[in-house]
């Protein structure tokens, strides 16, 4: 997967996230359990793909093989401290 495809996937996830958040505000009804679950899944997937993009950029910066960058599991990415 190249950077463009990664960025496109991130943009698709962000659009879906915004759509969910907008629908949550309509009429003040909020999201149902499935909507909350999907929102959580999107957040984790966004973190994973942003991490992948950062890995690729860092490898490029230090002249390392970009192909060595990989999509890390959710537990690893979500365990980062900010």
Residues 6+ away with beta carbon under 8 Å from 8: none
pTM given for the model: 0.88
Each domain of the chain, given as residue ranges in start order, spans: 3-78
Tens digit of pLDDT for each residue in 18-47? 999 998 876 557 888 899 899 999 999 999
Over residues 69-81, mean pLDDT: 90
pLDDT at 63 (0 to 100): 97
Radius of gyration, alpha carbons of the chain: 15
Instruction: In whole angstroms, give the CA distance from residue 56 to residue 11.
Output: 18
């Amino acid at each position: 997967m190249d950077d463009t495809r990664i960025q496109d996937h991130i943009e698709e996830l962000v659009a879906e996230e915004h759509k969910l958040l907008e629908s949550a505000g309509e009429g003040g009804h909020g999201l149902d359990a499935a909507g909350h679950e999907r929102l959580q899944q999107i957040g984790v997937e966004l973190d994973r793909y942003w991490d992948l993009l950062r890995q690729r950029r860092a490898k490029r910066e230090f002249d390392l093989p970009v192909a060595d960058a990989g999509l890390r599991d959710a537990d690893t990415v979500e365990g980062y401290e900010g």
